[in-house]
């Protein structure tokens, strides 16, 4: 017998050492390969942590990825008085009022202390005078409905309770500023707040020429939520409502409609009195060459110097983009640079109001 830790007496020492080293090298390669795969998986999860649809990785926090958390209980509790449930009608049985699930229209958000609600039901408010809203644990009658056919938003005015001096103001929804993806958010679904992640901002599908100030983009959420779903941040600020195209209609757009709604009870869009499209929505070609800006397809306001076929290349000294366009419409008139055939023109266009 020979000691087990030594090679057999008849063994070639050089050959024995060669095979031992080869085994160690093979083991090192195998373990290195496994370690590499694990490291790559962690790295991919860290890089693409914002894409909730890709798997378990979701939000990057302090250099690591994690799944979305639940909405803090305090935030959920504080937000609930700002959320209403709207029904077509109520039913009284044995002296008690109740609601059938089949009569439920959807959630609505309190946007004014005196009883204006905002919602997205996807349908015009036919018979809205009989609708009922449950807000703050009380049933309130809907006395007025204003529908915006451009965004499909609907605004509901609640009837006043008792005397004006006795009416208690409703808590109002706070609007979030522009959201920078990736951002963890929460959608109100089936009486609970469901976590998700905003993965980017996306231009809506092109559907032909439309009003220059109509909403054209929204936030993309990596889950499929139905139209009307309220989306909030973890601090309880409204990011927006899910629109008909599945994108989050931003709260800043909703907020732009409120001043005129509160003052006159109608929806108004500031506009240059034209319809058309931006090159970010669909390509614009003139003379076989790709162009940037806003293509005017129709002019509907009177005394407007613009003409169908004009390409607005600049607005107030900058590129004609949807973001710059929105800012420019806050004034009373706008200076635009237009390409009309072979001519370059500078025109002053008054800002007018469009009522859908």
Does 314 share its domain with 330?
yes
Region 19-38: mean pLDDT is 65
Query: What is the tens place of the pLDDT at every residue in 307-352?
Result: 999 999 999 999 999 989 998 998 999 999 999 999 999 999 999 9
One domain for residues 113 and 151: yes
Rounded to 5 degrees, φ, ψ at 138 are -120, 155
What is the predicted pLDDT for the residue at 228?
96
Is 4 in the same domain as 87?
Answer: no
Claim to verify: residue 274 and residue 260 sit in the same structural domain:
no
Domain boundary, last residue among 264, 283, 301 = 264
Domain of 239?
Answer: 183-264
**What is the tally of structural domains in the chain?**
4
CATH value at residue 244 = 2.40.10
Return d(Cα 229, Cα 300) in angstroms, integer.
Answer: 34
Residue 220: Cβ within 10 Å count: 15
Lowest mean pLDDT among 104-118, 166-180, 292-306: 166-180
The answer to whether residue 88 is domain-embedded is: yes
Q: How far is CA 261 from the centre of its chain?
A: 22
- Give the tokens for residue 283: 């390509």
Among candidate residues 247, 264, 281, the one where a domain is terminated: 264
Query: What are the CB-based long-range contacts (under 8 Å, 24+) for 304-309?
Result: 304/272, 304/273, 304/274, 304/349, 304/350, 305/347, 305/348, 305/349, 306/272, 306/273, 306/274, 306/336, 306/338, 306/347, 306/349, 307/340, 309/340, 309/341
Say how far apart CA 227 and CA 146 lie, in whole Å. Answer: 18
Whether residues 274 and 258 share a domain: the answer is: no
Question: Which candidate, 352, 268, 270, places its Cα nearest to that of 304?
Answer: 352
Q: What is the pTM of this model?
A: 0.77
Give the CB-side neighbour count of residue 284, counting CA atoms within 13 A. Answer: 22
8 A C-beta contact, residue 116 and residue 155: yes
pLDDT per residue as tens digits for the range 123-161:
778 878 889 999 999 999 999 999 999 999 999 999 987
Residue 63 pLDDT level (bands cut at 50, 70, 90): very low
Residue 235 lies in a domain: yes
CATH code where residue 91 lies: 2.40.10.10
Residues 287 and 219 in one domain: no
Shared-domain flag, residues 89 and 120: yes
Per residue in 215-230, pLDDT tens? 999 999 989 999 999 9
């Amino acid at each position: 017998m020979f000691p087990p830790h030594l090679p057999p007496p008849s063994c070639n020492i050089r050959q024995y050492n060669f095979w031992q080293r080869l085994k160690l090298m093979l083991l090192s390669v195998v373990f290195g390969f496994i370690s590499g795969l694990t490291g790559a998986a962690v790295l991919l999860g860290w890089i693409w942590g914002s894409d909730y649809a890709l798997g378990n990785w979701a939000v990057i926090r302090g250099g690591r990825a994690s799944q979305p958390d639940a909405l803090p209980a305090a935030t959920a509790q504080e937000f609930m008085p700002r959320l209403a449930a709207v029904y077509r009608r109520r039913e009284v049985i044995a002296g008690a009022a109740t609601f059938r699930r089949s009569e439920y229209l959807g959630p609505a958000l309190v946007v004014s202390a005196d009883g204006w609600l905002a919602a997205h039901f996807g349908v015009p408010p036919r018979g809205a005078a009989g609708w009922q809203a449950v807000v703050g644990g009380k049933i309130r009658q809907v006395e007025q409905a204003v529908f915006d056919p451009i965004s499909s938003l609907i605004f509901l005015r609640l009837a006043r309770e008792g005397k004006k001096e006795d009416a208690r103001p409703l808590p109002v929804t706070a609007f979030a500023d522009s959201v920078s993806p990736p951002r963890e958010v929460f959608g109100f679904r089936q009486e609970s707040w469901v976590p998700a992640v905003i993965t980017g901002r996306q231009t809506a599908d092109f559907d032909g020429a439309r009003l220059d100030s109509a909403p054209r983009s929204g936030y993309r959420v990596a889950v499929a939520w139905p139209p009307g779903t309220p989306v909030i941040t973890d601090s309880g600020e409204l990011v927006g409502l899910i629109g008909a195209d599945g994108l989050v209609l931003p709260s800043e757009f909703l907020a732009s409609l409120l001043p005129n709604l509160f003052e006159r009870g109608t929806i108004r869009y500031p506009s240059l009195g034209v319809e058309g499209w931006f090159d970010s929505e669909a390509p614009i070609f003139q003379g076989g060459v790709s162009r940037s800006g806003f293509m005017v397809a129709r002019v509907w306001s009177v005394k407007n110097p613009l003409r169908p076929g004009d390409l607005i290349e600049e607005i107030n000294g900058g590129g004609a983009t949807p973001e710059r366009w929105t800012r420019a419409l806050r004034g009373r008139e706008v200076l635009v640079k237009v390409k009309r055939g072979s001519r370059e023109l500078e025109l002053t266009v008054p800002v007018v109001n469009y009522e859908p």
